[in-house]
Structure 1
Amino acid sequence: MCFQTRIGGWRRASGSGSRIAMLPKTIASFFLFSAASLAGVLSARCAATGIIIVGDIQYQPIAAAAADVESTLKVPLNVFSTAQVKGKLRALVRRENAGLVVALGREALEETLQLPPSISVVFGLVIAPPKTSRPNTTGVYLATPVREYVNIAKKYLPAINKIAILGSPDMINILDSNAELQGVAYRVSSCSEIVDTINRMHASDALLLLPDTALLTAGVMDQLFLFSFRKRIPLLGVSEGSVKNGALLALVFDSASVGRQIGEKVLEAQGGAAPPSAPRKFNLYINANTAMKMGIIIPEEMIKTAKNIYR
């Protein structure tokens, strides 16, 4: 199987019989034996790992993460698209003799969570860890923990002392182990609740938005930007796009390192229970124009650490 499926340009066994036929019989036999031995070693090595990847590698972030996982593990892995495994993953796992499945992306994770609990699942490229009691399930999620924003405010922005946190109950529980650390957490479950909440929000120095595509629709974001500039309360979080549109800053996972971290999580999972982790590295995006309009001083040291600054 390893010869047939490889990340980033599939490797296939290529025939060389016509050239070998021109060699002396003893040399030809040697080459044929060596090629067969090499194929057997690679196949055995791939099977021995007991690991497969599920993810749609036609999408560049998933392809890059899959390649990083393989590089970290230093072993060839078979990759299957979500369409290939839909309703067939259990049989595929048996056929591949896999004891661990790496699920890259939300759809891949949904499929792998249906596997027997004896099969380990390591997820990646999902916003938050799945809400499941399934054992042997771990991975790396993409959302930025609240503490990262608290730390950057303490280090660079002394004017921001009280941060209001806005998000779903599940997301607040996942991303903020101490929701009252520097402000108050507003737990919302619908778009209408968000609008109602910001209209009665108490004084805060900044509003941190926790990622949730079901809640932070385009219409809700428009309302949040209007609130931010009218009240002169800067928005923090979500994405580089939100910073470009007017949020003060955002900390976004570093895509170049998250694939390696998923690979390391696979190694952890092979050694036993391993809790899900947030990314280790984040990129800082700043909107200097928003800072100027709100009278917020961005120190030069902070500017130097930013990946991109919108002016």
Structure 2
Amino acid sequence: MKRRTFIGAMASGALTPWLAASAQPASRKKLVGMVSSFSARQIEPLRAALLEKLRDLGWREGDNLEFDLRLAEPTPSALSAASAALVARAPDLLIAQGNPTLDAMRPHSGAIPVVFLLVADPVELGLVVSLSHPGGSLTGFTNFETAVGGKWVDLLKDADTTIERIVLIANPDNSTSAPLARRIERDGRESGVSVQTVDVRDADGIERAIRGAAGSPRAGLMTLPDSLPILHQDLIIRLTSELRIPSIHPFRTFAANGALMSYGLDFPELYRQAASYADQILRGRSPADLPVQAPTKFELVINLNTAKLLGIEIPPALLASADETIE
């Protein structure tokens, strides 16, 4: 505001309304685009959490905000096409969910600010300069450090002490799958458990991997933090239940819907945090000034109904450490 205009506002008694208006989002509708490979049913509660927090911060869909969500199969080509279609609309901000989505989005996004979610090792992969000072157009929230793989192994072994082998389902199109799988294989050896990584890209591959696990006595199953198992969550839960295979997953929805255990992040809260970054960027702050945040809280969920179905008696110490039990 020019100095003479500001003085005029003071003289007319309009300073207070001017300050109130300046604290609100600009009148032009902002366009926020997001790409996810979750299903419509799976993404809905997360979309709702994001938009609810944005409303709390003054952004109302249909008023001063347009939110364009594109769902795509978890393949590089599909994610790239969805990203290109969004970028063609010249959004004010992009939201990328997971490493494969961010990898597919980056060639198209250019200087458009991007808030990422569930992205592992952004510094090691060269996505940002550092966690505290990203230094470019990207910032956001990481998901799991590789050390968490050992925790998954230990939790599954604690729940069922008879387990000698774990089949680990991995998506080779996710750049973080290989290093995380190697760490889990090493942690398994140290815990006296053989971990076999099986690369899959579709439902057929997932089914073959699970049936392969069922062919071995004292076997368990584990999935990595990736959109592919989320997309085929119902299949994984159905088969592990039918074949009596104890399993652990990084997403709460697995345990909530019938898998034995989950140990992972509070997803709705993560999306609310992403909304706070979106708010700051839409108001003019640079992503380069917003530090990449690592998770600080993980939740252990145990489904006792499934434990009973599998004939597993969860040890009292493990039950006591659970954040939630499902009966």
- TM-score interval, smaller chain: 0.5 to 0.7
Residue 69 to residue 129, structure 1, CA distance change in 2 (3 Å): farther
The SS at the match of 1:170 is coil
One-letter amino acid of the structure 1 residue matched with residue 141 of structure 2: V
Are 1:192 and 2:204 matched, yes or no?
Answer: yes
Q: Which has the higher contact order (CA 8 A, sep 6+)?
A: 2
Residue 32 to residue 295, structure 1, CA distance change in 2 (3 Å): same
Question: CA separation in 1, counterparts of 2:31 and 2:121?
Answer: 20
Are 1:114 and 2:99 matched, yes or no?
Answer: no
Q: How does 1:201-212 map to 2 (within 5 A)?
A: 201=213, 202-210=216-224, 211=226, 212=228
Are 1:270 and 2:288 matched, yes or no?
Answer: yes
Question: CA separation in 2, counterparts of 1:69 and 1:147?
Answer: 36
Residue 248 to residue 62, structure 1, CA distance change in 2 (3 Å): same
The alpha carbon displacement at 1:33 in A equals 3.8
Question: CA separation in 1, counterparts of 2:269 and 2:49?
Answer: 10
Percent same amino acid among aligned pairs?
Answer: 20
Equivalent of 1:287 in 303, 307, 316 = 303
Q: Deviations over 1:161-214 (max 9, x none)?
A: 643211322343375452413112111223223333344445554211335158
Q: Deviations over 1:119-147 (max 9, x none)?
A: 441123x69899x9877444336689634
Question: CA separation in 1, counterparts of 2:179 and 2:53?
Answer: 26
Contact between 1:252 and 1:284, CA under 8 Å: does it hold in 2? yes
TM-score (norm 2): 0.56
The alpha carbon displacement at 1:284 in A equals 2.2
Question: CA separation in 2, counterparts of 1:290 and 1:69?
Answer: 37
RMSD: 4.9
When Rg is computed on C-alpha atoms for both structures, the one with the higher figure is: 1
The alpha carbon displacement at 1:150 in A equals 2.5
Residue 154 to residue 122, structure 1, CA distance change in 2 (3 Å): same
Question: CA separation in 1, counterparts of 2:45 and 2:306?
Answer: 32
Contact between 1:127 and 1:142, CA under 8 Å: does it hold in 2? yes
Matched pairs, number: 258
The SS at the match of 1:189 is coil
Question: CA separation in 2, counterparts of 1:83 and 1:245?
Answer: 25
Question: CA separation in 2, counterparts of 1:270 and 1:236?
Answer: 36
Contact between 1:164 and 1:204, CA under 8 Å: does it hold in 2? no
TM-score (norm 1): 0.59
Aligned to 2:95: 103
Residue 206 to residue 300, structure 1, CA distance change in 2 (3 Å): same
One-letter amino acid of the structure 2 residue matched with residue 165 of structure 1: L
Are 1:180 and 2:185 matched, yes or no?
Answer: yes
Tell which deviates more after alignment, 247-256 or 136-145.
136-145
Contact between 1:191 and 1:215, CA under 8 Å: does it hold in 2? no
One-letter amino acid of the structure 2 residue matched with residue 140 of structure 1: F
Contact between 1:162 and 1:205, CA under 8 Å: does it hold in 2? yes
The alpha carbon displacement at 1:82 in A equals 1.0
Q: How does 1:164-175 map to 2 (within 5 A)?
A: 164-171=167-174, 172-173=177-178, 175=180
Equivalent of 1:81 in 67, 81, 86 = 67
The alpha carbon displacement at 1:292 in A equals 3.5
Aligned to 1:65: 50
Question: CA separation in 2, counterparts of 1:32 and 1:65?
Answer: 35
Question: CA separation in 2, counterparts of 1:67 and 1:251?
Answer: 25
The SS at the match of 2:14 is helix
The SS at the match of 1:296 is coil
Gaps of 5+ in 2: 1-7, 36-42, 71-84, 129-135, 189-194
Gaps of 5+ in 1: 1-25, 94-100
The alpha carbon displacement at 1:254 in A equals 0.9
Contact between 1:166 and 1:187, CA under 8 Å: does it hold in 2? yes
Aligned to 2:155: 152
Contact between 2:120 and 2:142, CA under 8 Å: does it hold in 1? yes
